[in-house]
Amino acid sequence: MDFSGNLVRWYAAHRRDLPWRKTKDAYKIWISETMLQQTTVNAVIPYYEKWLHVFPDIRSLARAPLQKVLKTWQGLGYYQRARSLHLAARIIVNQFGGKVPRDYDLLKKIPGFGPYTTAAVLSLAFGKPCPVLEANVRRVMMRIQGIHGESKASHDQTILKRLSSVIPAGRPGDFNQALMELGALICRSQNPLCLLCPVQSSCWAFKRGEQEVVPKPQKRSYRKITSVVGIIKKEGRYLIQKRPSSGLLAGLWEFPGGKLKRGETREKALVREIKEELGADVDKAKFLVKVDHSYTQFRVALHAYECSLKNDPALESGKQKWVSLKDLHKYPVPSGSAKIINFLETRHTK
Ligand code: SF4
């Protein structure tokens, strides 16, 4: 069976019209592929367009301060990716004259270029026969090859070996995109549309009616976290502080506060956190709003309290700032804090 031919022909007829499919520019493809990891196409489109408006080419990204990069990325999560894009742009400008390297081993050494992004950029922008392997491709190929169980490294090797033998030399980018598109539109994890599938005749799972059990469905378990933050206002400005420059949500700004300890009430946690972080005692605290947000591994219920303090907080220069409501949106903040800022803005305009 002409597996690759059937797949690429189907893609030509059914592919979605997406902004990053209109270009062969390696920079734009790199940005889109980085944004698309673990984020849906529809969610990425406005971020991609905004990003290219702010940073139209690799040199503009390399020149930009990190805070502007994080702010432009805000809402996509996985902020390490934005930091890697920024660092990689500087390396490519300084060491490669602003041109994305076309060599697999060279490109793979640059921060943020893992096996997936490297193969995607090389195949889509430069026509190199490098197969991509991401969640959609993995699911499609496990079904086609009849690979049971959960995904793991040894399965990935089996899949990549097969893909390397069938990726067409003339159209590797279309082949890779076709497989990802097939996984997104037809070979879905639930209720795959096998009767519309262009590679049905090559599919082990279809022939045995085992589409729903290959691969083994994964259960996701989220840790639940309850946090409190203090909304502290002085002369019309709010107190925000910068997170450490490494670790979770590094370099972003947020309202002071933190996680509840075991057995602690929200009010006690608030008093403790404000004391620990600002060296100040809470005078009065009034519950304001609760927002929920999901991160990769956990869900946070964030409880915001309007606070007054008994004494002035001890602020560290560069780490904490008083910021007016209209300027709060200029700072890169985690999504939970962004929801609280939206709440404050909406309340202000009522
Ligand atoms: Fe997926 Fe069904 Fe196509 Fe097999 S036949 S690749 S299970 S959509």
Domain boundaries, the chain: 3-208, 223-349
For the cut 80, the answer to whether the pLDDT of residue 349 exceeds it is no
Buried b (16+ CB within 10 A) or exposed e, 2-22: ebbebbbebbeeeeeebebee
**Closest C-alpha to 18, from 193, 187, 177:** 177
C-alpha distances (whole Å) from 112 to each of 40, 91, 147 are 19, 11, 29
C-alpha distances (whole Å) from 127 to each of 75, 163, 180, 236, 280 are 32, 15, 17, 56, 60
Q: Residue of the nearest CA to atom 1 in ligand 1?
A: 187
For the cut 70, the answer to whether the pLDDT of residue 1 exceeds it is no
For the cut 70, the answer to whether the pLDDT of residue 311 exceeds it is yes
Put residue 236 in one of left, alpha, beta given phi > 0 → left and psi -120 to 50 → alpha: left
Q: Which residue has the tokens 């972003």?
A: 252
Q: Which atom of ligand 1 has the smallest separation from the CA of 200?
A: 5
ω before 244 within 30° of 0 (cis)? no
Q: Residue of the nearest CA to atom 7 in ligand 1?
A: 211
- The H-or-E segment that residue 325 falls in is helix 325-328
Q: Which residues make beta-bridge pairs with 237?
A: 234, 324
The domain defined by 3-208 carries CATH number 1.10.1740.10: no
Q: Residues with Cβ < 8 Å from 95, sequence gap 6 or more?
A: none
> Is the distance from CB of 197 to CB of 182 less than 8 angstroms?
yes
Three-state secondary-structure class, residue 198: coil
User: Ligand 1 centre and the CA of 186: distance in Å?
Assistant: 7
Query: What value does the mean pLDDT of the chain take?
Result: 93
Pocket test for ligand 1, best of 186, 191, 208, 210 (most atoms within 8 A of CB): 186
Q: Average pLDDT for residues 206-212, to the nearest whole number?
A: 87
Cα separation, 120 vs 124, in Å, equals 6
pTM higher than 0.85: no
Q: What is the pLDDT of residue 350?
A: 67
pLDDT band at 316 (very low <50, low <70, confident <90, very high): confident
Amino acid at 308: S
Which tens digit of pLDDT belongs to each residue from 30-83? 999 999 987 889 999 999 999 999 999 999 999 999 999 999 999 998 899 999
Cα separation, 294 vs 300, in Å, equals 6
Q: What tokens appear for 143 in the block?
A: 């079904």
User: Ligand 1 centre and the CA of 199: distance in Å?
Assistant: 7
- 345 catalytic residue (yes or no): no
pLDDT above 70 coverage of the chain, percent: 98
- In this structure, of 29-33, 138-142, 193-197, 246-250, the range with the lowest mean pLDDT score is 246-250
Q: Residue of the nearest CA to atom 5 in ligand 1?
A: 200
CATH architecture classification, 223-349: Alpha-Beta Complex (3.90)
**Closest C-alpha to 79, from 65, 67, 90, 62:** 67
Q: What is the pLDDT of residue 151?
A: 79
Give the start-end residues of each E strand in the chain.
Answer: 223-234, 237-242, 253-254, 257-259, 282-294, 298-309, 320-324
Residues enclosing ligand 1, CB less than 6 A?
140, 143-144, 186-187, 192, 194, 197, 199-200, 203, 205-206, 211
Q: What is the pLDDT of residue 30?
A: 98
For the cut 80, the answer to whether the pLDDT of residue 254 exceeds it is yes
